[in-house]
Amino acid sequence: MTPIEQVMRTAPVIPVLVIDDVAEAEPLARALVAGGLNVLEVTLRTPAALDAIRAMKQVPGAIVGAGTVTNPQQLDEAVAAGSEFIVSPGLTETLGRAAIAKGVPFLPGIANAGDIMRGLELGLSEFKFFPATAAGGIPALKALAAPFGQVRFCPTGGISVDNAAEWLALEPVLCVGGSWVAPRGGSPEQIEQLAAAAAKLPR
């Protein structure tokens, strides 16, 4: 099992987190981990993101990674902040080679067969299918997965409490990414309940 596959198999849902205030980071991580979702993706979309990763790393049981990593400089910053895995919305050879050289578990985004083939050439076999719904949904992923039997996916983008189970029922899907388990402004109690429900999703 590859290092990123181990991360993907930890829980059925990876919360995709946009954190504006670092003070929110540790309570949010504690609520998600208490609910059973240990793998946390902090997107590099806000100035607070790197400090949020550092704060969440203090929570026992949390496996904290960086999302929305688009270039080697962000990769370096994320790893320096303690990121245990890296997620990207796409895949370039430059970023792929940089992540491999760092030895950090890497989940690049793909939306078509060419993306998958580029990843396979780099030695990668696990991918984020993004944006999952906009890129054609479940029929598109089934069609993409058919020629690539060794490939496994984490669909992200448009995944919700209403359709997560349908995605997780697909054989090549190891987990899904979603933001519904950590709504902005949600209380720790609410987030823990949402996480607990998500952690029980069959796959």
Which one-letter amino acid corresponds to residue 174? L
CA 112 from chain centre, in angstroms, equals 18
In terms of Cβ atoms closer than 10 Å to its own Cβ (0-12, 13-18, 19+), residue 73 is exposed
Phi–psi pair at 59, nearest 5 degrees:
-85, 120
**Integer Cα distance of 95 and 192 in angstroms:** 34
3-state helix, strand, coil in the chain (%, to 5): 40, 15, 45
Residue 137, SS3 per DSSP = helix
Catalytic-role residue among 41, 84, 126, 192 = 41
**Integer Cα distance of 185 and 14 in angstroms:** 19
Catalytic-role residue among 57, 84, 126, 128 = 128
The yes-or-no answer on residue 57 being catalytic is no
Tokens of 151: 């490939």
- Count Cβ atoms below 10 Å from residue 151 Cβ, excluding itself: 18
The yes-or-no answer on residue 142 being catalytic is no
Which sequence positions are flagged as catalytic? Answer: 41, 128
